[in-house]
Amino acid sequence: MNYNETITMDSPIMGSIPTQNLHKLSDEIISENFRQSFVAYQNNITTKPLLLNGDAVTILRNLPNECIDFVMTSPPYWGKREYENGGIGMEKDYRDFIKNLSIIFAEIKRMLKPEGSFWLNLGDTYNAKGLVGIPWRVVFELVDNQDWILRNSVIWNKLKGGMDNSKDRLGNVHENIFHFVKQAKGYFYDADAIRSKPRESKIVNGAIVSATGVSGVRYKRQIELSTALSDSEKTTALSALQEMLAAMEAGELSDFRMIIRGQQRATHSDKEKVSGRAKELREKGFYFLKYHPKGSKPFDVWDILPEDTQRREAHFAPYPTDLCQIPLLATCPKDGIVLDPFCGTGTTLIAAQHLGLKSIGIDISRRYLELTLRRCDSL
Ligand SMILES: C[S@@+](CC[C@H](N)C(=O)[O-])C[C@H]1O[C@@H](n2cnc3c(N)ncnc32)[C@H](O)[C@@H]1O
C-alpha cells in the first residue's frame, strides 16, 4: 500500500500480546447465537461485560432495535495496520473505509435508544503527503446522510507526541472525539455528574467572600463613584449587588462577576441584536455573570495521556479509560447498557464496569477479547 506517512506516533500498536493461559478464558466469548446471548444478558444482573466475537456489522444486525443506551468506540485507523483477522481499515480507498464505517454506524443508530449517545474517537491518516481529514469526512457522512446530531467535537490532547521523523510538518498530538445524539431534545445528559466541585466561599471579617475573592466591596465603590450611572441606576445596582451577595451566602451560587457601565470590559457583543447583555447594560447600567453553584462543566479540550504512557503491563492501542469517564458519567444512565463495537482490549467496558454499568463488546479478534476478559477479571 501507498501510505507514506502515519499521523500519530503513539497511535494503536496491537502488538506483543502475552498468550499465557488465555485459552482458558475462551469459553466466555460468544461466537454464535448473538441475539439469545444478548437477551439473556439484558435480563441478568451481572455487570461483567458480554463479549461477542465476529464482524461488527454481522453481529449488530442480529441485535434488537433501541436496546442500547450508550456507545463509545474507536475504530481502526484507515490504512494504518492490520489487526488480527483483517477487519475494517484495510480498504484501498478512504471512501470505501468511510462507507464501511457508516454501515456500522447506521446499525448503531438503529440499536441506540432515542435518548442515547454515541461517542466516536477517530484518528486521521496521511496519504501521499496529504492529511485525509477522515474524522470530519465521517462526521459529514453521519450528519448529512444518517441524520445524527453532532453535539460536541472534543479535542483529545495527548500531551506527548511520540517519534516523528518528518522534517516538513508539525508533530501531531491530538485526536478527535465526537458526541452524537439521535434527537435534538430529551437525550440523556447529566451535566451535574461532570461538574468540577466549586471552590467554596468564606466569611472574612463578617462578610461573605467568594473563592475568587469577590466580596462586593470593589463593585460597591465603583458604583458609588461612577460618573456613567444615574443616581437611580446606582440605587438599583447597589441593591442588586446586595441580593447577589445574599444569594452567595445562602449557597445559591458559588461566585459571580458584576459588569458595570463604564467600568468593566464587557464580555458580550456590543450589538444589541446579538446580545441581551448589551441591552441590559444600556438600560440598567449593569449585569451579573453567575457561576453555577454546583461547579463548572468541563470544556471540549481534554488533556489525557495515552495509555502507553500510563502504567500498564502491556500496550495494545487502547485509548485510556480516563477518556471514557466524562462520556459515561454525563450520557449513560445508571441502569444503562454500554456498547463498543470495536472493543479491542476492552477499555470502554472496563470503564463501564468501574461505574457498575453493564456493557457489550464486539471484536473481530478473539485474542483481543480474551485480553478484555483478563482485564475485566483482574478488576
Ligand atoms: C483501535 S482498536 C480498538 C481499541 C480499543 N479501544 C481498546 O481499548 O483496546 C480497533 C479494533 O477494531 C477491531 N476490528 C477491526 N475490524 C473489525 C470488524 N469488522 N468488526 C469488529 N471488530 C473489528 C480490531 O480487531 C481492533 O481490536
- Reported as a single tens digit per residue, the pLDDT across 110-131 is 999 999 999 999 999 999 999 9
Query: How many angstroms separate the first and last alpha carbons of the chain?
Result: 40
Return d(Cα 59, Cα 279) in angstroms, integer. Answer: 56
Among the residue ranges 49-53, 233-237, 303-307, 328-332, the one predicted with the least confidence is 303-307
If one residue of 363, 373, 376 were mutated to test the ligand 1 pocket, choosing by the most ligand atoms within 8 A of its CB, it would be 363
Among the residue ranges 37-51, 142-156, 192-206, the one predicted with the least confidence is 192-206
On the 0-12 / 13-18 / 19+ scale of CB atoms within 10 A, 101 is: buried
Contact 56 CB / ligand 1 (< 6 Å): yes
Beta bridge partners of 196: 296
Contact 344 CB / ligand 1 (< 6 Å): yes
> Percent of the chain at pLDDT above 90?
65
Among the residue ranges 7-21, 84-98, 149-163, 332-346, the one predicted with the least confidence is 7-21
pLDDT for residue 15: 40
Q: Is it the case that residue 27 has pLDDT exceeding 80? A: no
Q: Which residue has the cell 458604583?
A: 223
pLDDT for residue 183: 98
- At position 35, the amino acid (one-letter code) is R
Return d(Cα 80, Cα 70) in angstroms, integer. Answer: 27
H or E element that contains 157: strand 149-157
Return d(Cα 286, Cα 261) in angstroms, integer. Answer: 6
- Ligand 1 center to residue 374 CA distance, Å? 17
- Ligand 1 center to residue 109 CA distance, Å? 19
At 237-259, the pLDDT tens digits run: 999 999 999 988 888 888 899 99
Ligand 1, atom 15, residue with closest C-alpha: 87
- Ligand 1 center to residue 328 CA distance, Å? 20
Domain ranges of the chain: 22-193+297-377, 197-290
Write the CATH number of the domain with boundaries 22-193+297-377: 3.40.50.150
Triad 303, 304, 310: Cα angle to 5°: 150
pTM: 0.83
Contact 361 CB / ligand 1 (< 6 Å): no
Pairing of strands 50-53, 29-30: parallel
20 pLDDT tier (thresholds 50, 70, 90): very low
